[in-house]
Structure 1
Amino acid sequence: MTSPIHLNQFQALIDALNEVLTFVRPADAVLRQFFREQSKIGGHDRRYIVETVYGVLRHAESLTPFAPLHAARRLALLFHMKIEGRSLRDLEKLCSEEELRWLKEVKAAGLPPSLSVQTGLPEWVLEKLKPIYNEQDLLTLGRSMMHEAPLDIRVNTFLVSREDVLNELLGMGLKVSVTPHSPFGLRLEGRPSLQDLILFKKGYFEIQDEGSQLLGVMLAPKRRDLVIDFCAGAGGKTLLIATLMQNLGRVYAFDVSAKRLDQLKPRLKRSGLSNIMPVLIENERDQRVKRLRGKADRVLVDAPCSGLGTLRRNPDLKYRQSAEGIDELVVKQRAILESAAQCVKPGGLLMYATCSILPEENEGQVQWFSEKHQDFELTEVNLPELGMTSGHFLQCLPHQQGTDGFFAAMWQRKMN
């Protein structure tokens, strides 16, 4: 049974939703700031606000036939009535007389039978996906993106075994199981707070989607390799790579953002790893990149991308991204890939990855690079964990592998 909504709860929701619907910043960052500024809002009300904001974003294509995307009050009322199934009696105390009349008018109205409404994906996204997906596949993919993502963690196997962390979490009464594909992942039910746990503070695990973990499995660094994580960000994959190397060799974590690299530092300290070197670079042509030309055994380019593979977590990306923005990203991805390739030594490996589902960011980029660089040969995917032992791409999708949408391909540089 759904809890009744109080007027002050609803007004706080509208205040938060108005800020989110500007789409100037990521929804999670907007909500964090909103709750810092509205510190008197309690835990129950915060959950209601977060769940409703994300519900509106996930189902916006089903709501906007009746109200524009900037109309926070009407979208919230529509979500409660049409998606949650609340009655007009439940909602009338939240409405003006005009809003109540409007709700009565739209209550029985059917949705337009458009593919956008049925998939929850804007038309510009669908147009980019239609060349590779038929209508039924689009429906399945889109609907899978409307569900909330699970909470996955990656066990730091340099310090502790997955079994030990699993047993500790089960002993706390948490509902947790091993991930079906990643050999170091665990999946938790619900949204327990993990960052206050002693296990987390000791560095025994990091929060990381299973699909992201599989990129490390595919890269398969060896213990004494020199590895470059070219777009390291806050270092989730960097830490995994260093762990797989058992704290041997050297991992360079490149990024153009000092703020993101600063987020790596406490994670690195917790991890017990000492083979990672964070390096702030100005751009992909930085002199610090050029010094490693032809020296790396493995280079990972987890490229800046649309992020549309993470719509279960970040549904606002559908509206913060645009077709024009994708064109700009494609140019940036190519520039980074070009520079990263120069760091790979003969016989070494170059991996390109995105958390996108768009072919021009994925297969299109692989085709472009392969045609331009005859000294690199596309390798076969060998991931028995996924039942994949052939093909040139790794493609993870929510409705197939239960992960975020991830894509990866890998080349080997030919020997001179």
Structure 2
Amino acid sequence: MDENQTNMDGINNAGDKQEDTPVSVPVEKIIKETEAGAIRETDSPELIEKAKEVQQEQESQETPAAKPRRERPKGDTIYSDSRTLAVKILTRVERTDSYLEKLIDYEISNENLNDYDKSLLNEICHGVVRWMRRLDWFLNGFYRGQWEKCMPEIKNTLRVALYQILFLNKIPDYAAVNEATEFVKKISTQKHADVVNGLLRTIIRTKEDLVYPTREIDEIKYLGIMQSHPNWMVKRWIQRFGFEDAEKLAESNNKRPILTVRINTLRARKDEFLNLLTEKNIVYRFCKYSNMFITLRLMSKIYLDEFFIKGYYTVQDESAGLASILLAPKESELVLDMCAAPGGKSTHMAQMLNNKGKIIAVDKYDAKIRVMKQNAERLGATCIEFVQDDASDFHNEVVTTTRFDKILLDAPCSGLGVLSKKPDIRWKREVEDIINLAKYQKKLLENAAKYLKPGGAIVYSTCTIEPEENIEVVKAFLAEHPEFKIDNAGNYVSQDLVNAEGCIETFPHRHSTDGSFAVRLVKEG
């Protein structure tokens, strides 16, 4: 491939990280992001202010339907369309530990973007992050110089263009090249624009003959590059599942996520709601494991949909509903939801209780409490009381003076079961994060046990597939608490979802859901 390399000297930045070096996020910040949202301790003051602004806007209204439209500041003409805004977002994600979804939401709120541009921006940003390692494999092969030292803005311009060339069939190659070239002219020099133009055109000419890595030399690196995951991650999965199953899992993580919603019978009868969808020619299908969950096809602007605003349904993956089903709350019972935000499981349990009974939903941050209250109001969930407190060390008397019939602990985790929805997580995690998070999860489970009545049940759940955060946390807890035992999940859900230990364990490539874990722990009476 040397003969096709293009000279990129002069547009390097020696301060950038290596191609395969993950962005490590301390466990405290992972927990904070899980619980609190956009604002992160290592963000610049400017980014923090923007994140606060976005968060306040999200908190002020339940849906974007009622949001005021944001206009782009005058003079901000460099980042003016979906492709250039994608470069802006990707550069910020790369330079900081900001999360992709928050930055996309901020830019999509701008008045200047039409619906097509918003959709393209979302597709490019998620696609580039999802396939970043494979894109970098090719760009590094054609790059003369040290790819890891390339200026971030130019690096991401090339990624955006190459993603369109390799993955988006409806966009002509020449359009992707021209847009990239013109943008580099604005942010750099004509010389650099010419180099970008030449590199991309060289790739297009040899597109059918691009050289891929081979499994025979190094199967971990091969799978990591071909399916765009970090080596440490695919190595764990190969050791645990074998190569073929690990490959299927990685492939599932790279699929565009399917929109799954939960029908809310507190606001509408199930048959009536389905009839309304049919009348509007909205295609749906039932999920496999719960008949209250359906997938919707080709539905855009969901948060502006009248049925969503009326509370007839809410967005929730089927796997997320399994924890509530496993807990099986009954009317008149007192239930504690320890780490409740964003509130999907609390409102699901309220629906299961038909608003008879009481749910105490706890979160550490007042902003999240306000959002959960708005969600509950939209969905008609009236049996929930919201409490601001720290689930690892309760102080609020509403919790500390009470013993509960059922407790749901949906613990902060690494999120490695939801990589299709949140592709940037794969580049922000390291194996050490899993180990450190497990320590925090054990602390939460210990605290949960203090507030459970004899004969009561705790459901411990996560949205990760890693055993250190799942079954190993449970085994460590049971070793210290012989008064608890596992109640086999097969008594509550399909046996297809239940592993050898009697726990729910879902995988994207096996169950067509997010990856998740849930176990029901019963305390002797």
TM over 0.5: yes
Match of 2:197 in 1: 100
Match of 2:125 in 1: 53
CA distance in 1 between counterparts of 2:244 and 2:297 reads 29
Change (3 A) 1:399 1:283: closer
Match of 2:187 in 1: none
Query: For residue 123 of structure 2, what is the amino acid of its counterpart?
Result: E
Which segment drifts farther, 261-270 or 383-392? 383-392
CA offsets 1:107-141 (integer angstroms, 9 cap, x no match): 44322231212333211222443442111110000
Task: Tell me, yes or no, if structure 1 residue 270 matches structure 2 residue 378.
Answer: yes
Which segment drifts farther, 263-272 or 16-25? 16-25
The aligned runs of 1:162-311 (5 Å cut-off) are 162-288=270-396, 291-292=399-400, 295-311=403-419
Match of 1:64 in 2: 136
CA distance in 1 between counterparts of 2:81 and 2:504 reads 47
Structure 1 residue matching 2:241: 3-state secondary structure: coil
Q: Cα offset for 1:90?
A: 4.3
**Identical amino acids, percent of aligned pairs:** 25
Would the aligned equivalents of 1:298 and 1:350 in 2 still touch at CA under 8 Å?
A: yes
CA offsets 1:288-310 (integer angstroms, 9 cap, x no match): 37954772111111000111111
Q: Cα offset for 1:372?
A: 1.9
Would the aligned equivalents of 2:262 and 2:294 in 1 still touch at CA under 8 Å?
A: yes
Higher relative contact order (CA 8 A, sep 6+): 2
Match of 1:4 in 2: none
Would the aligned equivalents of 1:151 and 1:189 in 2 still touch at CA under 8 Å?
A: yes
Match of 2:505 in 1: 395
Would the aligned equivalents of 2:359 and 2:385 in 1 still touch at CA under 8 Å?
A: yes
Q: What is the total number of aligned residue pairs between the two structures?
A: 408
Would the aligned equivalents of 2:260 and 2:317 in 1 still touch at CA under 8 Å?
A: yes
The aligned runs of 1:9-48 (5 Å cut-off) are 9-36=82-109, 38-48=110-120
Deviating runs (4+, > 6 A) in structure 1?
none
Would the aligned equivalents of 2:92 and 2:98 in 1 still touch at CA under 8 Å?
A: no
CA distance in 1 between counterparts of 2:483 and 2:118 reads 54
Change (3 A) 1:16 1:287: closer
CA distance in 2 between counterparts of 1:314 and 1:286 reads 30
Which segment drifts farther, 347-356 or 291-300? 291-300
Change (3 A) 1:173 1:278: same
Would the aligned equivalents of 2:465 and 2:517 in 1 still touch at CA under 8 Å?
A: yes
CA distance in 2 between counterparts of 1:333 and 1:199 reads 37
TM-score, length of structure 2 as denominator length: 0.73
CA distance in 2 between counterparts of 1:171 and 1:22 reads 47
| Aligned-residue CA RMSD (Å) | 2.3
Task: Tell me, yes or no, if structure 1 residue 135 matches structure 2 residue 219.
Answer: no
Structure 2 residue matching 1:206: 3-state secondary structure: strand
Would the aligned equivalents of 2:409 and 2:461 in 1 still touch at CA under 8 Å?
A: yes
Match of 1:410 in 2: 520
Which segment drifts farther, 287-296 or 76-85? 287-296
Change (3 A) 1:289 1:84: farther
Structure 2 residue matching 1:75: 3-state secondary structure: helix
The aligned runs of 1:103-122 (5 Å cut-off) are 103=200, 104=202, 107=207, 108-113=209-214, 114-122=222-230
CA distance in 2 between counterparts of 1:304 and 1:168 reads 37
Query: For residue 84 of structure 1, what is the amino acid of its counterpart?
Result: L
Query: For residue 433 of structure 2, what is the amino acid of its counterpart?
Result: G
Structure whose CA Rg is larger: 2
Q: Cα offset for 1:218?
A: 1.4
Change (3 A) 1:291 1:48: closer
Q: Cα offset for 1:87?
A: 6.4
CA offsets 1:20-61 (integer angstroms, 9 cap, x no match): 33352221110111233x431222112111101111111112
The aligned runs of 1:293-332 (5 Å cut-off) are 295-332=403-440
CA distance in 2 between counterparts of 1:399 and 1:283 reads 33
Q: Cα offset for 1:345?
A: 1.2
Q: Cα offset for 1:384?
A: 4.5
More helix by share: 2
Structure 1: runs of 5+ lacking an equivalent: 1-6
CA offsets 1:335-393 (integer angstroms, 9 cap, x no match): 11110111111111111100012121112212211222111101211244464577411
CA offsets 1:139-162 (integer angstroms, 9 cap, x no match): 000001100111111111233222
Structure 2: runs of 5+ lacking an equivalent: 1-79, 141-146, 182-192, 215-221
Change (3 A) 1:223 1:390: farther
TM-score, length of structure 1 as denominator length: 0.91
